[in-house]
Amino acid sequence: SADPLAFYPHFRAGADGLTLATPAKLNLFLEIVRKRPDGYHDLESLMVAVELYDTLELRAVPGGAVELRCEPDTLGSGPDNLVHKAAAALRAVAGRPDLGAHIRLTKRIPTQAGMGGGSSDAAAALVGLNEIWKLGLTREQLVAIAASIGSDVAFFLALPAAWCTGRGEITAPEPPPRRALDFVLVLPPVGVSTPAVFKRLVVPVGPVGGDRLRAAFRAGDPAAVGAALFNRLEPAAFGAEPLVGRLRTRLAELHPAPCGALMSGSGSTVFAVCRDRSHALEVAAAFRNSRPADEPESRVLIVRGVAL
Ligand code: C5P
């Protein structure tokens, strides 16, 4: 479709602006195919959006300044915030340094968590600013800008599920399942730096394929999805932050057992796939109740995959 808002499912137009709900993602499969001459890694990943959202409120203002307020402000609303990078890239491509905006970002997706929070905010900023600034850029043009901001940004223009290749920026829509999956998220009190994980990574000689996971996902079969979960970045991330490995093991070995457990992205979030909402409630309660005394407390959330 020509209208980018038509493929961005979570927005509300108000009297003087636009509000977008920006979803988090989980990687149900992530394999590294090769290290590239430019230092990045070619990968293959199934990414799915989940019902955990930041909120991005956008209002066009005259005067050419882009102001970002972030709540809570622990993340920082400075120039490193990917929302600023999205706004700057959009103005540069459009050749319109005169465009200004007031932006309010309410964070709920944790940072350094492997859930793409910053990337999702940036993608929504591209869609939303294109709209309020009346630039008329197509989805394809926004996708090209997205890839220049970060490897995961383009996925959030391919919601709710996509098979991602290249650095992660080449997306093919994945048919959504007949029934949305139910997840338990474990959010450790520590984050993990993505470059640190890639530095520790041992690139596999024989990469594994994602066909089994993709078939299970399409069928909406939680048991089969749980059995086919895979993330090549786990050993590197567990080496960088041993707590993440401990949490992943404890989640996988719980009673009642989830269908499967995995780390998302480069961590630190680990998640369990459950049969349904009531199974997820049981798994979450069992996880909270079996925490060893020497293990720092994590946030535990129950979320459902986004279905269109
Ligand atoms: O693209 P992005 O800025 O999100 O990537 C952050 C870092 O993660 C890169 O600088 C690189 O070290 C690593 N990375 C990688 N291969 C990818 C994606 C990220 O090596 N496909």
CATH number of the structural domain spanning residue 256 = 3.30.70.890
To the nearest whole percent, how much of the chain has pLDDT over 90? 88
Residue 307 clears pLDDT 80, i.e. is over it: no
Pocket test for ligand 1, best of 33, 40, 47 (most atoms within 8 A of CB): 40
Give CA–CA dist 27/115, Å, rounded.
Answer: 8
User: Which residue's C-alpha comes closest to atom 7 of ligand 1?
Assistant: 195
Pocket test for ligand 1, best of 80, 151, 153, 156 (most atoms within 8 A of CB): 151
- Considering the domain architecture, whether residues 147 and 233 belong to the same structural domain is answered as no
Active site residue 25: yes
The whole-number pLDDT of residue 119 equals: 98
The whole-number pLDDT of residue 227 equals: 98
pLDDT band for 2, please (50, 70, 90 cuts): low
Q: What is the pTM of this model?
A: 0.96
pLDDT band for 8, please (50, 70, 90 cuts): confident
| pLDDT tens, position by position, 250-292 | 999 999 999 999 999 999 999 999 999 999 999 999 999 999 9
Question: How many other CB atoms are found less than 10 A from the CB of residue 132?
Answer: 17
> In ligand 1, which atom is closest to the CA atom of 166?
21
Judge if the beta carbon of residue 150 lies within 6 A of ligand 1: yes
- Considering the domain architecture, whether residues 23 and 167 belong to the same structural domain is answered as yes
> In ligand 1, which atom is closest to the CA atom of 266?
8
| pLDDT tens, position by position, 143-174 | 999 999 999 999 999 999 999 999 999 999 99
In the numeric block, which tokens belong to residue 192? 């993990």
- Considering the domain architecture, whether residues 10 and 159 belong to the same structural domain is answered as yes
Q: Domain boundary at 173, 205, 220, which?
A: 173
Burial of 148 (0-12, 13-18, 19+ CB in 10 A): middle
H/E segment holding residue 217: helix 211-219
- Considering the domain architecture, whether residues 17 and 156 belong to the same structural domain is answered as yes
* C-alpha 115 – ligand 1 centre gap (Å): 14
Q: Which domain holds residue 264?
A: 182-304
- Considering the domain architecture, whether residues 158 and 196 belong to the same structural domain is answered as no
- Considering the domain architecture, whether residues 243 and 111 belong to the same structural domain is answered as no
State the average pLDDT for the chain: 94
Pocket test for ligand 1, best of 41, 42, 45, 193 (most atoms within 8 A of CB): 41
User: Which residue's C-alpha comes closest to atom 10 of ligand 1?
Assistant: 195
ipTM > 0.90 (yes/no) = yes
Active site residue 199: no
Judge if the beta carbon of residue 168 lies within 6 A of ligand 1: yes
Q: Domain boundary at 141, 173, 205, which?
A: 173
Give CA–CA dist 259/7, Å, rounded.
Answer: 31
Residue 1 clears pLDDT 60, i.e. is over it: no
Judge if the beta carbon of residue 198 lies within 6 A of ligand 1: yes
The whole-number pLDDT of residue 4 equals: 67
Residue 38 clears pLDDT 80, i.e. is over it: yes
Judge if the beta carbon of residue 238 lies within 6 A of ligand 1: no
Residue 75 clears pLDDT 90, i.e. is over it: no
- Considering the domain architecture, whether residues 189 and 83 belong to the same structural domain is answered as no
User: Which residue's C-alpha comes closest to atom 19 of ligand 1?
Assistant: 40
Decide: helix, strand or coil at residue 212: helix
- Considering the domain architecture, whether residues 295 and 188 belong to the same structural domain is answered as yes
* C-alpha 204 – ligand 1 centre gap (Å): 17
| pLDDT tens, position by position, 200-237 | 999 999 999 999 999 999 999 999 999 999 999 999 99
- Considering the domain architecture, whether residues 169 and 202 belong to the same structural domain is answered as no
CATH code assigned at 122: 3.30.230.10
Overall domain count for the chain: 2
- Considering the domain architecture, whether residues 142 and 189 belong to the same structural domain is answered as no
Residue 73 clears pLDDT 80, i.e. is over it: no
Active-site residue (options: 54, 121, 152, 221): 152
> In ligand 1, which atom is closest to the CA atom of 152?
4
Partners of 231 in the beta sheet? Answer: 30
The whole-number pLDDT of residue 177 equals: 82
DSSP 8-state class, residue 4: G
Residue 78 clears pLDDT 60, i.e. is over it: yes
Decide: helix, strand or coil at residue 211: helix
pLDDT band for 190, please (50, 70, 90 cuts): very high
* C-alpha 240 – ligand 1 centre gap (Å): 16
- Considering the domain architecture, whether residues 143 and 237 belong to the same structural domain is answered as no
The whole-number pLDDT of residue 179 equals: 85
- Considering the domain architecture, whether residues 189 and 281 belong to the same structural domain is answered as yes
